[in-house]
Amino acid sequence: GQNIDQPTEMTATEGAIVQINCTYQTSGFNGLFWYQQHAGEAPTFLSYNVLDGLEEKGRFSSFLSRSKGYSYLLLKELQMKDSASYLCAVSTGFQKLVFGTGTRLLVSP
């Protein structure tokens, strides 16, 4: 089966750094995605990792370790608008995405 785990909820303070972890066990692996989703809206693409290592894009970075089945999304200099759900998704083949349950991040002043 497919299993993708993320913490359900996290809280952080404006200006801080937060790391959202994702562990996965899937039948195939063609890359790992992170999406941001505000309530009632569609997910928006944040990052894509297919090789081990860190990908940095502005305030957001994503890390992947395929041997450990592990990824994290790092958000720096948190802003209030970063309050959202963050979805980890694995492409298992033929572009199918299997999503984790999502992590709801609440940023407080």
Partner 1 sequence: GAVVSQHPSRVICKSGTSVKIECRSLDFQATTMFWYRQFPKQSLMLMATSNEGSKATYEQGVEKDKFLINHASLTLSTLTVTSAHPEDSSFYICSGRGPRAYEQYFGPGTRLTVT
- For the bound state, the minimum distance from the C-beta of residue 50 to partner 1, rounded and expressed in Å, comes to 7
Provide DSSP, 30-96. S-EEEEEE-TTS--EEEEEE-SSEEEEETTEEEEEETTTTEEEEEE-S--GGG-EEEEEEEEEETTE
Q: Which range of residues in 16-24, 61-69, 75-83, 97-105 is near partner 1 by CB under 8 A?
A: 97-105
DSSP secondary structure letter of residue 15: T
Selected from 5, 29, 48, 55, the binder of partner 1 by CB under 8 A is 48
Q: Which range of residues in 20-28, 43-51, 60-68, 75-83 is near partner 1 by CB under 8 A?
A: 43-51
- Return the structure tokens found at 2: 């497919």
- In the complex, the residues that contact partner 1 under the rule CB under 8 A are 30-31, 35, 40-45, 48, 50, 87, 89, 91, 94-102
